[in-house]
Amino acid sequence: MGVPDGHLAGILAWYSLIHFEPAELPLILGEFARCVKPGGSVLLGFFDGPAGEPFPHASVVHAFLADGLNNPQWRSGVQSIALKDCTSGESGAVYSQALTGPKGRPLQGDYKITDA
């Protein structure tokens, strides 16, 4: 993205990731994670539901983003991740994740996939 590590307070990717192939998502999301400062935010907008024209791969992109078990593929520092509740990749799914925090300390937290 052409910015230093941790330089941005946040990134807005509103219905833009659907224009990429699913295989490109780990690189793109990894770059987002690199550019956002600790505690910063990434807000993603993407289609939920059946794929439509002219973006037939939108449902595949949605499934990749909603499945928190994919986090190690695009986010450095993920030590472990596990599905805690519900069905992986579905709204309401809760994931337990351990990350490498500041000075290498482990950080543990849960997060939930929600509808925006």
Does pLDDT of 11 surpass 90? yes
Over the stretch 41-60, which tens digit does the pLDDT of each residue have? Answer: 888 887 665 544 445 566 67
For the ranges 22-31, 50-59, 77-86, which has the lowest average pLDDT?
50-59
**Among 5-14, 18-27, 92-101, the range of highest mean pLDDT:** 5-14
Residue spans of beta strands (DSSP E) within 1-116: 8-14, 36-45, 78-85, 94-100, 106-112
With CA atoms as reference, report the closest residue to 112 among 65, 60, 53, 68. 68
3-state secondary structure (DSSP) of residue 33: helix
What is the four-CA torsion angle of 94, 99, 4, 9, rounded to 10 degrees?
40
Q: Is the dihedral of CA 57, 61, 67, 69 positive or negative?
A: positive
